[in-house]
Structure 1
Amino acid sequence: MIKAIALDDEILALKIIENYAGKIENLSLEKVFNTQSDAKKHLRKYPVDLIFLDIEMPSKNGMDFYKNISQNTKVIFTTAYSEYAVDAFSINAVDYLLKPFSFERFKEAVGKVKITNDPDDIKYLSIRADYKLHKINFDDILLIEGLDDYIQIHLTDNSKITARSSMKSIMEKLSEKDFVRVHRSYIVPVNNIKTVVNRNIHITHFVIPIGDTYKDVVMRIVNK
């Protein structure tokens, strides 16, 4: 998951970025800012992988702002001015989006972002559902159930979150050492697999069948 913020002095430009970002599954737009001071304060406390950054702003030039960020944050410049492109790439910008840009062009730029975070170091799942971003601790997940084009995340407090996603996509966001797919319709935390009875895993109020494709993996976990 790519964690990002956006900084632009134009509110409409920020709304467009928010709209586009919401359509990209592996991108989490944490916050948007229209002043550099607010963005700087946020970055001091909450480092991100990527910043969408305007160049011509009332205070400091966007490039100067980026050069003064101490953390290793990647940048995609979003600007109405083409004359800064050479300078942008000289400071290793991921991409340079010239306003107005399409969703496809935005998606292409995000696709160029490579982050080195080890998924096994992440202990939470970020997913969009009900028009907002949910940040779910791995420890709070009881199981994940596939429902056609949606997934349902069952939580330990008996609540559940339904989101549009494939099981393959959701599995890519999870730590392989913490979660295992046990059936085409079920993903469960490894620590919840205590015993297997008649090819079923019993978790709280659920009885989860083990699919033929996944039985060897499950049995290796049980026999550890």
Structure 2
Amino acid sequence: MIKAIALDDEILALKIIENYAGKIENLSLEKTFNIPSEAQKHLNKYPVDLIFLDIEMPSKNGMELFKSISQNTKVIFTTAYSEYAVDAFNINAVDYLLKPFSFERFRAAVDKVKPGHESDDLKYLSIRADYKLYKINFDDILLIEGLDDYIQIHLTDHSRITARSSMKNILEKLSDKDFVRVHRSYIIPVNAIRTIVNRNIHIGNFIIPIGETYKEAVMKIVNK
């Protein structure tokens, strides 16, 4: 059972969290607070596994409050302000929920706290782009394309994220069991290599050539 509390200066926001939490098995929302000092007093006496925490509050900044907690408590930030996202992940926030958020989004955040989820962190790529920190599920990556000093991550929903990085650096952040470099300009998911036609790999609408340097690594995957 995940023991949690929620802190937000808006009563309506707390009611929404309370409602959502009540629908999730193995999550116990022990108490809600709209005054930071009261939440801190409670935490000093009754440690919890998780805190749902607003950031912009009149009397105290939620991020500073979390940094002051000595116990090993995880945090999911719930805020109306997107500009704190990078800072939140820099202090290892479990997730960052931007108000208004749906129940499905709330549940996905809580799932990251459940036992055994730590291993799932290996299935995500964290990368900064457009002044934001993106946490991308490996399964959502269609392919990665190198563009001089930048890389472009093509996602399965047809969107793209462009970030300043070399192909070498981005490859180091990926699991070698899940991704392989097939060309100086392309990294693709291993499970996308099903058929090779004229030394090209077809992924969706893309035709990815296999570079001579990478041919041996690709053939090892095909022949497994």
With the length of structure 1 as denominator, give the TM-score of the two structures. 0.51
Q: CA deviation at 1:114?
A: 3.7
For the pair 1:112 / 2:112, whether they are aligned, the reply is yes
For the pair 1:10 / 2:5, whether they are aligned, the reply is no
In structure 2, the partner of 1:46 is 46
In structure 2, the partner of 1:55 is 55
What amino acid sits opposite 2:105 in the alignment? R
In structure 2, the partner of 1:27 is 27
In structure 1, the partner of 2:76 is 76
Given that residues 49 and 72 in structure 1 are in contact (C-alpha distance below 8 angstroms), is that contact kept between their aligned partners in structure 2?
yes
1:183-220 residue CA offsets vs partner (Å, 9 max, x unmatched): xxxxxxxxxxxxxxxxxxxxxxxxxxxxxxxxxxxxxx
Q: CA RMSD in A?
A: 1.0
Flag as ranges the 4+ runs of structure 1 deviating above 3 A.
none
2:60 counterpart SS class: coil
Separation in 2 of the partners of 1:35 and 1:65? 12
Q: CA deviation at 1:60?
A: 1.5
Separation in 2 of the partners of 1:51 and 1:78? 10
2:63 counterpart SS class: helix
Given that residues 49 and 115 in structure 1 are in contact (C-alpha distance below 8 angstroms), is that contact kept between their aligned partners in structure 2?
no
1:40 counterpart SS class: helix
What amino acid sits opposite 1:99 in the alignment? K
Equivalent residues, number: 116
What amino acid sits opposite 2:43 in the alignment? L
What amino acid sits opposite 1:14 in the alignment? L
Identity of aligned residues (%): 86
Separation in 2 of the partners of 1:46 and 1:30? 10
For the pair 1:102 / 2:102, whether they are aligned, the reply is yes
Separation in 1 of the partners of 2:44 and 2:63? 18
Q: CA deviation at 1:115?
A: 4.8
Separation in 1 of the partners of 2:115 and 2:98? 24
1:135-194 residue CA offsets vs partner (Å, 9 max, x unmatched): xxxxxxxxxxxxxxxxxxxxxxxxxxxxxxxxxxxxxxxxxxxxxxxxxxxxxxxxxxxx
Separation in 2 of the partners of 1:115 and 1:72? 15
Separation in 2 of the partners of 1:114 and 1:67? 22
What amino acid sits opposite 2:76 in the alignment? I
1:85-132 residue CA offsets vs partner (Å, 9 max, x unmatched): 00000000000000000000000000000458xxxxxxxxxxxxxxxx
Separation in 1 of the partners of 2:53 and 2:115? 18
2:47 counterpart SS class: coil
